[in-house]
Amino acid sequence: MTDPTYAYRAHPFTSERVFRLEPEGLAWTEGGRPRALAFADVVAVKIYLERIPGSSASYWACVLYGRDGGRLKLGAAHRTGLFSVENRSAAYLPFIHAVTTRLDALRPGLPHREHKSLLEKLETGVGLAGVGVLRLLRRLDLGRTAAAAGWLLRKVGPRLKGHRVAGEQLAMVFPDMTAAERATTLDGMWDNFGRLFIEYAHLDRLWDYDWRDPRPGGRIEVDAATRATLLRLRDDPRPALMFTGHLANWEVVPLGAGTIGRDISVVFRAPRIGPFVREMIRAREAGGSHVIAAGPDTPLRIREALRQNRLVGMLVDQHYARGIDVTFFGRTCKVNPMLARFARMFDCPIYGARVVRLPDERFRFELVGPIEPPREADGQVDIAATMQRITGVIEEWVRQHPEQWLWLHRRWR
């Protein structure tokens, strides 16, 4: 029986190699000379999907690590030019299956190495640097560093691309604003954004309000109406939904809800920078929140949290391409209907929460609700009308403090 073969060119500047699977290893010819890698000399293997410049597809690849430090790569992406690829998966997959089957038989327990692309390595490095910066900032005075960051963003922000988007949206929804008023509002937005970054480093230290013994003069200010509403929520055994928007430091909202003695789960859209994400989750959980990272299983995890009678909080003021239409500042935009769908499923109360930024790194925490959702003829929650009512609450908050909303999001598309 003829040994299986596979022809492969790994790089555009190398020649094609024809690999032959032999009983004890792989053999090929390179530069007119016979070469071989014995399976007995393989110390590790890595199997992964790779992306090739010039191609939008992903291709399977395998790297065998030799005892002498060398590496042998075989892949389905046969390079025919600098930016051209031939997909040889039909021949590659059965060949590499035969290779790994024989390798596993001869070398059981062989280590499999984790693959990290250059982009993943770069993201990891950026994430570790970000974590280091946050931990350094924790050692510095919050008020001074937040003021410095706000000043810096007021200077740098207007030079960034997002400033144009923010200005266009602000002019669209507040046409009566003068140019000077818009400039002041955008300065406030950048100042808030700069302070927000510094406050991330101190997230688990920001909340200093004691519901059992409220005293004035702390970092957090709560009015009597909010306190009464939150204490009623504390004593309500039912699950509840809570929404907020990108106003002031929206991360303070779950801190307040998480200190009343009830479990709260917060939906978190994580960036792809692993170490930074883990640090953000640690800070949130230190503040009393359970984190639900946004992903394909998000609805299942929200449903499970509500079944456990938790509070579930989410941001509701961003564009969602597959969402439903609502009116925001008199213009149609799309919003994720998930909150209203769960309100319909569990028939649970809905609350709105926000913080307002005050001078000297202080905040006023406000809670409204329960908000009565509109209902259909059969008594079930009307999803579209409920999301419109929630969007109306967000709009009123933005009108009150437009300089504290994140106008950088392209809300109308």
Q: What is the pLDDT of residue 119?
A: 47
Last residue of a domain, one of 80, 106, 132: 106
Question: For 96-100, 186-190, 198-202, which range has the lowest pLDDT when averaged over its residues?
Answer: 198-202
Residue 112 reports pLDDT greater than 70: yes
Distance CA 180, CA 119 (A): 42
Whose tokens are 């005892």? That residue is: 67
Q: What is the pLDDT of residue 55?
A: 66
Query: How many domains is the chain partitioned into structurally?
Result: 2
Q: How far is CA 337 from CA 309, 369, 409, 411, in A?
A: 21, 19, 18, 15
Q: What is the bridge-based pairing of β-strands 264-268 and 289-293? A: parallel
Q: For residue range 310-328, list pLDDT tens digits in order.
A: 888 888 888 888 889 999 9
Residue 28 included in any domain: yes
Q: What is the pLDDT of residue 130?
A: 56
Distance CA 258, CA 277 (A): 20
Question: For 69-83, 106-120, 298-312, 394-408, which range has the lowest pLDDT when averaged over its residues?
Answer: 106-120
In angstroms and rounded to an integer, the radius of gyration of the C-alpha atoms of the chain is 28
Same domain, 279 and 384: yes
Residue 192 included in any domain: no
Residue 330 included in any domain: yes
Sheet of 289-293: strands edge to edge? 220-222, 362-368, 350-358, 240-244, 311-315, 264-268, 289-293
Q: Longest C-alpha distance within the chain, in Å?
A: 87
Residue 109 reports pLDDT greater than 50: yes
Residue 245 included in any domain: yes
Last residue of a domain, one of 58, 74, 106: 106
Mean of the per-residue pLDDT values of the chain: 83
Residue 156 included in any domain: no
Residue 242 included in any domain: yes
Residue 277 reports pLDDT greater than 80: no
Residue 27 reports pLDDT greater than 80: yes
Q: For residue range 47-79, list pLDDT tens digits in order.
A: 888 777 766 677 888 899 998 888 899 988 898
Task: Please say whether the dihedral angle defined by the alpha carbons of residues 256, 257, 258 and 262, taken in this order, is positive or negative.
Answer: positive
Q: What is the pLDDT of residue 221?
A: 85
Same domain, 245 and 367: yes
Residue 193 included in any domain: no
- Assess contact for 137 and 145: CB atoms under 8 A: yes
Amino acid in the structure at residue 35: R
Q: Which H/E stretch holds residue 293? A: strand 289-293
Last residue of a domain, one of 52, 77, 106: 106
Same domain, 71 and 210: no
The closest of 204, 203, 185 to 195, measured between CA atoms, is: 203
Angle (CA) 324-341-287 rounded to 5° is 105
Q: What is the pLDDT of residue 311?
A: 85
Which string of DSSP letters, residue by residue, matches 211-242? SSS--TTSSEEE-HHHHHHHHHHHH--S-EEE
Q: For residue range 256-273, list pLDDT tens digits in order.
A: 766 776 777 778 665 544
Residue 158 included in any domain: no
Question: HSE on the CB side for 12, CA within 13 Å?
Answer: 10
Same domain, 215 and 93: no
Q: Which residue has the higher pLDDT, 403 or 196?
A: 403
Residues in the chain: 413
Buried b (16+ CB within 10 A) or exposed e, 131-144: beebeebbeeebee
Q: What is the pLDDT of residue 258?
A: 66
Residue 127 reports pLDDT greater than 60: no
Q: Which H/E stretch holds residue 72? A: strand 71-75
Residue 211 reports pLDDT greater than 80: no
Distance CA 379, CA 373 (A): 10
Residue 307 reports pLDDT greater than 80: yes
Q: Which residue has the higher pLDDT, 348 or 130?
A: 348
Same domain, 253 and 381: yes
- Assess contact for 339 and 298: CB atoms under 8 A: no
Q: For residue range 146-180, list pLDDT tens digits in order.
A: 888 889 889 988 888 889 999 999 999 999 999 99
Residue 35 reports pLDDT greater than 50: yes
- Assess contact for 85 and 8: CB atoms under 8 A: no
pTM of this prediction? 0.67
Give the domain range for residue 41.
Answer: 5-106
Residue 395 reports pLDDT greater than 90: yes
Structure tokens at 24: 């004890």
Question: For 101-105, 111-115, 246-250, 300-304, which range has the lowest pLDDT when averaged over its residues?
Answer: 111-115
Same domain, 232 and 381: yes
The mean per-residue pLDDT over the stretch 99-112 comes to 85
> For residues 115, 117, 119 and 121, what is the CA-based torsion angle, rounded to 10 degrees?
50
Q: What is the CATH number of the domain that holds 9?
A: 2.30.29.30
Same domain, 208 and 92: no
